Amino acid sequence: MCDAMHLGLDVRSLHNLIRRTLSAMMPPEVQHLSAPNVQLLIYLSHNEDHDVYQHELDRVFSITRSTDSRVLSLMEKKGLIERKSVDHDARLRKIVLTDSAREITKRIEQNANQMEEIMLQGFSHDERIYIHESLQRMKSNLLNSEFSPDPQHVASEDEQSAQDPA
């Protein structure tokens, strides 16, 4: 049986290796983007079926309005997003991806999928399911322990990691 301390180190080591591998796989036009920029691009890409406003990003990523404004302004200057007025409320501006950002996001997701396939080479479909279920059980065990962090903080981390290509 695995020693819990070694398992934790293995998980951390795998996390670091995934990040480094993804970084090495990213095309030059993506490498200048910060991790928060990438996470926002992916979130916006996955939510193009509805209007996304700054207050939604504040909530999902657990960031302050001022931080969000600064990040969005920089992303707008880089030509990644546009803030567009909406007809029903002059105070609101929806956040939309530019065509350039859609292409970048597509490449990021393709690289993430390729990295995952490389990582899981040699694993059967059943083994992949078992790994996923085991990781979910470990996560649940930690969340249900007496040492579990604040549930709202965990929920926002879950929303972020769901959007993270790693």
CATH number, domain containing residue 39: 1.10.10.10
* Residue 131 within a domain: yes
Domain ranges, residue 120: 22-163
Q: What is the pLDDT of residue 26?
A: 86
CA distances from 128 to 13, 104, 142, 165 (A): 19, 28, 21, 17
pLDDT digits (tens, 9 = 90+) for 59-112: 888 888 899 899 999 999 999 999 999 888 888 899 999 999 999 999 999 999
* Residue 122 within a domain: yes
pTM: 0.68
Q: What are phi and psi of 97, to 5 degrees?
A: -75, 145
* Residue 44 within a domain: yes
